[in-house]
Amino acid sequence: MTKEEFVSSVTANEKKLYIAAFSVVRNAEDAKDAVSSAVAHAWENLDRLNDDGKFDGWLLRITYNEAKKMKRHGGDSVSLTGLEDSFAYDPDDADMQFFDIISSAGLDGKSRQILILRFIYGYDLPETAKMMSLPLSTVKTKYYRALDKIKKLPGII
């Protein structure tokens, strides 16, 4: 992957990465930090990525890890200002936002990643499996289990 391709890919997915990070840290600034750190990590470790086709999933995974790491290490608390700066909730629908749903379902990290790749990125399951370097069967299993869990959430349907 060339530098230009790297930047192009990051640019195309920046918002999605932010959303993924935000779903973990729930904090606009930390989410941005997580994305930024992930991008830096990705660039530094780009030679470890053998298949450019997996870049999106790889970067998403790193972003997730960075966000989790940030959360573990005590990132900033939710900031009203940060939220307003970078993320606009619809208060009438706040309890049903996308990552509120997947968070409420108590999904593991991979399942959440699958759902994000599927719904935020728009990849189908085979593409998601490729992105995550997982067997399609695993992706399917996690995907449908996740949907099962979500479907059982009160008030979801």
Partner 1 sequence: MKKSDYKDIEEILSDKAARLEKRVGYSGAVRSADLDGSVNEDRHVRPHSPALQIAGAFLAAVIVGGGTFGALKYMEYKGAQIAANQGGPSEPAGYADAAEKSEYDQASPVAERADGFGEVRFINFADDFSKFRLSSRIFADAELPIENGYQSVYKVTSEEADKLGFDVFIYVDRDSAHHGGICVLDKEGGLVMDFKPAYLLSPPTCLLYAGDTPSGHQTFFFTAVQELSGPDWDWTNLYACDLVTGQITKIGSTGPNAYGSNALYTTGSLSYVESTGEILYNVYEKTYGTVIGQELTADNVIHNDVIVWNGEKYALRDLPNYEQSSPDPGVNLPEEYLSGGWLKIRSGENDYYPSSLSRKAVVGGTAVSEEFFETVPTEIEYRSGDELAAFNTARKAGYGEWRICKITVDHKKEFSSSAQALEYVRSVVGNGVESVYVEYVITWDAAAIRDPDADRWETTFAFRVINRENVVEGPGEAERISSYVNLVIGDKTLHPELISSTVYRGDKKTVKNYDTTGTLFIINGTEPVSFENGIYSVWHIYKATVTDTDGAHEFDTVEDALKHAVNAEGTAHVEVELTWDTAADKTVFVFGFSLIKEQLSEETTVPGAETDPGKKLPPQIFREWLLTKLQPKMTFEDLCQTVWNIEAGGYQIKNDIRAAQYQQIEYGEDGTFMRYGNEGYDLTCFVENDDAETVREARLILRPGFSGFELPYGLSIDTTPVGALEWLGFNAKQIAALEGRITADDGFTVTYYTTSVSFTYGLREDGYSVSMGIEISDGSDDQVYIEIEKL
For partner 1, the binding residue among 124, 154, 155, 157 (CB under 8 A) is 157
Asked if 90 touches partner 1 (CB under 8 A), the answer is yes
Measured from the CB of residue 53, what is the shortest distance to partner 1 in angstroms?
Answer: 14
Minimum CB separation of residue 128 from partner 1 in Å reads 13
Among 124, 137, 154, 155, binds partner 1 (CB under 8 A): 137
Q: Which of residues 17-46 bind partner 1 (CB under 8 A)?
A: 17-19, 21, 24, 29-33, 35-37, 39-41, 43-44
Rounded to an integer, what distance in angstroms lies between the CA atom of residue 20 and that of residue 105?
16
**Interface pattern 94-133 for partner 1 (x via CB under 8 A):** x-xxxx-x----xxxxx----x---xx-----------xx
Is the CB of 53 or the CB of 89 nearer to partner 1?
89
Q: What is each CA distance from 69 to 11, 17, 58, in whole angstroms?
A: 23, 15, 16
Site size with partner 1, rule: CB under 8 A: 84
Secondary structure of the chain in HEC code, one letter for each residue: CCHHHHHHHHHHHHHHHHHHHHHHHCCHHHHHHHHHHHHHHHHHCHHHCCCHHHHHHHHHHHHHHHHHHHHHCCCCCCCHHHHHHHCCCCHHHHHHCHHHHHHHCCCCHHHHHHHHHHHHCCCCHHHHHHHHCCCHHHHHHHHHHHHHHHHCCCCCC
Site mask, partner 1, residues 53-82, x = CB under 8 A?
-----x--xx--xx-xxxx-xxxx--xxxx
Q: Which is nearer to partner 1, 52 or 79 (CB)?
A: 79
